[in-house]
């Protein structure tokens, strides 16, 4: 698909195909192959001036770094993606990158920092009507509170997340909670 789109002179289609190929490699555990395709996608996104895809590819590089235990690199990628999302006013991407930053802080044991990020992401998600994202952020807040020893806060946020998951009939989140 990538070579067909390239040959047809359709850079947006080539970019989309390259990202999908990278994600497929990532799911197979071929992180090096995925990294190569995402980096190529980032270069192409910048060449064609697609800032939304630039933010997405930076976020994807952050995910790959996280999966490899490279949390500092993940943070850097997520922050860059967040900056781009804010620059173009893409609030749902902004919310996603804030969540990713929070998850990174959570994974390295910075629960207070994670909670601040999750709370920021939750407020933003509520403002823009992303109720599913809000529910997942509440779930992440509950986990961070639990891990830092705040049982009451954890129960409160988990209860709010469950209520929202029930309203949305989100079976995946219901199973997590």
Contact 19, 41 (CB under 8 A): yes
Question: According to the model, what pLDDT value does residue 1 have?
Answer: 55
Question: According to the model, what pLDDT value does residue 9 have?
Answer: 63
Give the model confidence (pLDDT) of 67-98 as tens digits: 999 999 999 999 999 999 999 999 999 999 99
Contact 135, 147 (CB under 8 A): no
Question: According to the model, what pLDDT value does residue 10 have?
Answer: 62
Question: According to the model, what pLDDT value does residue 8 have?
Answer: 59
Which candidate, 141, 57, 152, places its Cα nearest to that of 105? 141
Question: pTM for the complete prediction?
Answer: 0.87
Question: According to the model, what pLDDT value does residue 68 have?
Answer: 93
Residue 132 CB partners (closer than 8 Å, separation 6+): 168, 170, 173
Q: Residue 112 corresponds to which tokens in the numbers above?
A: 């207070």
CA–CA gap between residue 98 and residue 81 (Å, rounded)? 10
Given a cut of 50, the residues of the chain with pLDDT beneath it are: none
Question: According to the model, what pLDDT value does residue 81 have?
Answer: 98
Question: According to the model, what pLDDT value does residue 19 have?
Answer: 86
Question: According to the model, what pLDDT value does residue 177 have?
Answer: 72
């Amino acid at each position: 698909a990538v070579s067909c789109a390239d040959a047809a002179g359709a850079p947006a289609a080539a970019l989309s195909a390259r990202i999908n190929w990278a994600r497929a490699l990532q799911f197979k555990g071929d992180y090096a192959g995925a990294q190569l395709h995402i980096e190529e996608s980032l270069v192409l996104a910048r060449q064609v001036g697609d800032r939304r895809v630039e933010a997405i590819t930076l976020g994807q590089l952050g995910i790959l770094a996280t999966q490899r235990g490279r949390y500092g690199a993940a943070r850097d990628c997520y922050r860059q993606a967040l900056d781009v999302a804010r620059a173009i006013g893409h609030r749902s991407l902004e919310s996603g990158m804030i969540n990713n930053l929070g998850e990174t802080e959570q994974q390295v044991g910075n629960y207070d920092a994670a909670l601040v990020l999750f709370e920021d992401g939750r407020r933003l998600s509520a403002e823009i009507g992303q109720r599913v994202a809000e529910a997942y952020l509440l779930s992440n807040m509950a986990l961070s509170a639990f891990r830092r020893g705040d049982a009451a806060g954890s129960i409160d946020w988990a209860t709010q997340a469950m209520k929202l998951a029930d309203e949305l009939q989100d079976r995946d989140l219901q199973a997590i909670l």
